[in-house]
Structure 1
Amino acid sequence: MELFFKYLQYEKRFSPHTVTSYQTDLLQFQEYLKETYELTDIKEANHGIIRSWIVSLVQKDLDSRTIHRKIASLRSYFKFLLNRGEVEQNPTLRIKAPKLAKKLPAFIPEESFTQLLDQGNFTDDLKGHTERLILELLYGTGMRLAELIGLKINDVNHLEGTIKVLGKGNKERILPLNSSIKGALERFLEIRRAQDTDNNSPALFVTDKGLPLYPKYVYRVVKKYMSTVSTSSKNSPHVLRHSFATHLLNRGADLGAIKDLLGHASLAATQVYTHNSIEQLKAVFEKAHPKA
């Protein structure tokens, strides 16, 4: 199994978050095999056993998307084993996943984020400026959580007003920075340089101990400030990414440009945001079309 995880990390170039998800899924299935069938090796699982595991997940009221991911993890592992000659067949091929419920991306209104920045009560120290910059970058560029954590100081191009991010599959893309982000970035770096006496970390964001930022820290920051302007339980970094895309589309941005900014591999992944903007699209149609 460790070979499989290394394959995902170094050959498939999956993000650390995705590799961790695969690890969690496979270890959960391994635990199910041990408790239910007294089996210790995943290679001993057959179609019926895998199907019974999926039924148990459904009975636990797990989200259909989570179940889909777990099936995908198991399917990929058996494909890996098949290619290595460890198994004779892939028992997941005839497995049918439950239907996915269509969910629209959650987002916050434009005025809510403005209110968040205006009334955020950010402290005038490194911690306060770090928290503000995290929020500004997530909403102002649409970057992913993993991309934010992986930012380096040298990724910022102050002259051109851009920032370089490393996306999925190690694909780099350049994102423009608005004036608000540039101001927040300059103040943040000024304070960090003044306090950073013995740490030469290349990472843009570091903890109090000089270590790279971690996901839970970012989640706490987002939840802390978003809860002041939103009653939604989905106060996460990804909601700010969704808000970025939705607000751009509402203001008439080209879908292809939004795709490039988000780092999507295909336009199909970006088209989900058009559902959130149908009312705005109707308004544009009624105002602009000669027969409307």
Structure 2
Amino acid sequence: MSIDTIEQFQKDYQLRLAPRTIRAYQSNILQFFEQTGIPFQEITRKDIRNWLMWLEEQGYTPTTIYTKLIGVKTYFKYCLEEGWIATNPAARIPYPKLPDKVPIYLTKPELTQLRACVQHSLLERAIVEMFVSTGIRMGELVAMKKEDINETDRSIHIPDGKGNQGRIVLISLESLQYVQAYLASRTDELPYVFVNHNATKRIRHQKINANFQVYSEQLGFHVHPHMLRHTFAAHLAQKGMPGEAIQQLLGHQRPATTQLYARLFNHARKEMYDKWM
């Protein structure tokens, strides 16, 4: 194994992928080489298949194995592009079949209950509305700045989405009004849309997660921020928006995520169909 090639891979991909994704790829690549013990120039397709079998024997789930394989595939593709290897041993390795699970999302009555649960706080209601109306990720929400919001056309620029791919998302008029009311209630000069209780810095992931834990206890059913991203996608599917358009709004790149939301899309549309029949 050449640590130099992994470090160079990390440097060249740091502008293409989110830092957390890069770290995960690096960890998976290192695990691969530690388990195989073979120099990267000598790796064959069989070595990769044996590693996948080893992961399965160790009890890793198909979803985790899928994710690990993405990192290894991306690395060897990079090695080929750089001319370090003559052929890509990972190119024709198929991804493991993922379980046919549908992401959990809130029904409209459950969403109504959640909104009632946060009605006491402008900040918390604005955060819930932002998640539900835009489908953005937690990291995108906490990093969002006031300048990213275009109130005229009710759009939000997400400059550093996952994979450093910027995109535009839309927000409903009602949700925007909650965000505007929250911003109007503040007296600080911080550039962030959502700030902590003392208005000294942007709100933290941990605080939002803690709030959602409280909501779950009060509501009697589990709810977390990423579930609202699923809810956003499912409700758009039920209204008839094409799956490809929903994926663009969500900023998808990974094949596994695309497949996951394709199942959600089909499930949500079927639910709507069954209500009409």
Report the TM range for the smaller structure's normalisation.
0.7 to 0.9
Q: Is contact 1:104–1:275 with CA below 8 Å preserved after alignment?
A: yes
1:173 corresponds to: 168
Q: Is contact 1:104–1:276 with CA below 8 Å preserved after alignment?
A: no
Query: Counterpart of 2:229 in structure 1: which amino acid?
Result: R
Instruction: Please state how far the C-alpha of 1:110 moved relative to its aligned partner.
Output: 1.4
Q: Is contact 2:123–2:194 with CA below 8 Å preserved after alignment?
A: yes
Query: Counterpart of 2:212 in structure 1: which amino acid?
Result: V
Is the alpha carbon distance of 1:52 and 1:209 closer, same or farther for their aligned partners in structure 2, counting shifts above 3 Å? farther
CA RMSD in angstroms comes to 3.2
Query: Counterpart of 2:126 in structure 1: which amino acid?
Result: L
> Aligned partners of 1:206, 1:110: CA distance in 2, in Å?
28
- Say which SS state the counterpart of residue 62 (structure 1) adopts: coil
Aligned residues: 263
Instruction: Please state how far the C-alpha of 1:178 moved relative to its aligned partner.
Output: 3.0
Q: 1:203 aligns with which of 186, 192, 214?
A: 192
* Identity score, percent: 30
Q: 2:270 aligns with which of 271, 274, 278?
A: 278
- Say which SS state the counterpart of residue 187 (structure 1) adopts: helix
Is the alpha carbon distance of 1:22 and 1:220 closer, same or farther for their aligned partners in structure 2, counting shifts above 3 Å? farther
Q: Is contact 2:134–2:169 with CA below 8 Å preserved after alignment?
A: no
Q: 1:138 aligns with which of 101, 108, 131?
A: 131
TM-score under structure 2 length normalisation: 0.78
Structure 1 position 147 matched with structure 2 position 128: no
Structure 1 position 82 matched with structure 2 position 93: no
Q: Is contact 2:133–2:170 with CA below 8 Å preserved after alignment?
A: no
Q: Is contact 1:81–1:87 with CA below 8 Å preserved after alignment?
A: yes
> Aligned partners of 2:23, 2:122: CA distance in 1, in Å?
30
> Aligned partners of 2:29, 2:105: CA distance in 1, in Å?
32
> Aligned partners of 1:201, 1:8: CA distance in 2, in Å?
31
**Unpaired segments ≥5 residues, structure 1:** 123-127, 287-292
**Unpaired segments ≥5 residues, structure 2:** 1-5
Instruction: Please state how far the C-alpha of 1:138 moved relative to its aligned partner.
Output: 0.8
Structure 1 position 5 matched with structure 2 position 10: yes
Larger CA deviation: 148-157 vs 169-178: 169-178
- Say which SS state the counterpart of residue 277 (structure 1) adopts: helix
Q: Is contact 1:255–1:271 with CA below 8 Å preserved after alignment?
A: no
| The structure with more radius of gyration | 1
- Say which SS state the counterpart of residue 164 (structure 1) adopts: strand
Which string of whole-angstrom CA distances, capped at 9 and with x for unpartnered residues, describes residues 6-52 of structure 1? 22222xx223342233133223334435xxx4x6x655544444333
Instruction: Please state how far the C-alpha of 1:184 moved relative to its aligned partner.
Output: 2.6
Structure 1 position 21 matched with structure 2 position 21: no
Instruction: Please state how far the C-alpha of 1:241 moved relative to its aligned partner.
Output: 1.1
Equivalent residue runs for 1:30-179 within 5 Å: 30-33=33-36, 37=37, 42-43=40-41, 45-120=43-118, 122=120, 129-166=122-159, 167-168=161-162, 169-179=164-174
- Say which SS state the counterpart of residue 14 (structure 2) adopts: helix
> Aligned partners of 1:188, 1:43: CA distance in 2, in Å?
56
Is the alpha carbon distance of 1:47 and 1:209 closer, same or farther for their aligned partners in structure 2, counting shifts above 3 Å? farther
Which string of whole-angstrom CA distances, capped at 9 and with x for unpartnered residues, describes residues 128-154 of structure 1? 544332222111221223332331111
> Aligned partners of 1:2, 1:210: CA distance in 2, in Å?
36
TM-score under structure 1 length normalisation: 0.74
Equivalent residue runs for 1:180-219 within 5 Å: 181-192=175-186, 194=187, 196=188, 200-207=189-196, 210-213=200-203, 215-219=205-209
> Aligned partners of 1:96, 1:259: CA distance in 2, in Å?
23
